[in-house]
Structure 1
Amino acid sequence: MFKTIGFLFFTLIFYSCEDNTRISSCFRNSIATVPLDLNNPQLNGVLTPTGSAKITGGMQGIILYNGATLGYKAFDRKCPKFDCNTPMSFDGQRLKCVCDDSEYSILTGEPLPQGTDACFAREYTVTRNGSSLRISN
């Protein structure tokens, strides 16, 4: 009797759970590690908070962003909806897919407006060691 009640309780709990996980990335690519030197003049834009630079790598290039207290952020310029062969643009505040006018947060990669079910922009890991940055999966 105890086993039956326990089984029914577990089954009820299991089936009452709802999957609310959002798709954080529709990309399944791996990239070669991109080493960067902050002393490189190409990266002068990222030395100041909210500064950015376009660099090679990823699928269609990478936007490197200085998120100040959030650290460095790196996003692929490939449109997450895969409906565009043109790299996303960056206006200093958000990434924008020029083919369908979809926009993404530079801080999280989340589609804007927030709460939509679209895929996030592809974010890479940025590791800093002194004046060196490393962008990887």
Structure 2
Amino acid sequence: MLRTVLLHDHMDYSDTFAAWLHEQFAYEFATQGLHDWQREFKDGQNDGNWQTVIALENGQLLGGGALANHDSPDYPELGPWLACVLVAPSARQRGLAEQLITEVCATAVEIGHQKLYLHTHDRRDYYAKRGWEYLESFRAWGKEHSLMQRRL
């Protein structure tokens, strides 16, 4: 049975999900080793910097998404951010990413946030179809990115 839960309550999945993120978004981690990122990500579950929702099915990690305080050095004044949205290849095409995004947005509303930001280099249309507004383009980590926001 599929369920979404807070990573904070299931920390045995933290290093695995952080490793997936480190591999998938390697361009963002060019100057940060895997073990340093795993430590930062794990600490972020306790200090609120990376509040992560994960999807589990029969004890298997399928993906996750995070509410991050900061996710772009180019925009330190903005936040919070939808970040770290990733679904394992074997679990794609099931609507799981959208479910995780909805859960992260709900978490943000519960905390009292009225809008979220995200950046993407290749999924602008995906997010636009789901209510995210394009703000501008910027170059970071050697790629062109779209800065987007969503009012909650």
Instruction: Tell me which of the two structures has the higher relative contact order, counting C-alpha pairs closer than 8 angstroms and 6 or more residues apart.
Output: 1
TM-score category, normalised to shorter length: under 0.3
Select the structure that is richer in helix. 2
Give the TM-score, by structure 1 length. 0.27
Give the TM-score, by structure 2 length. 0.25
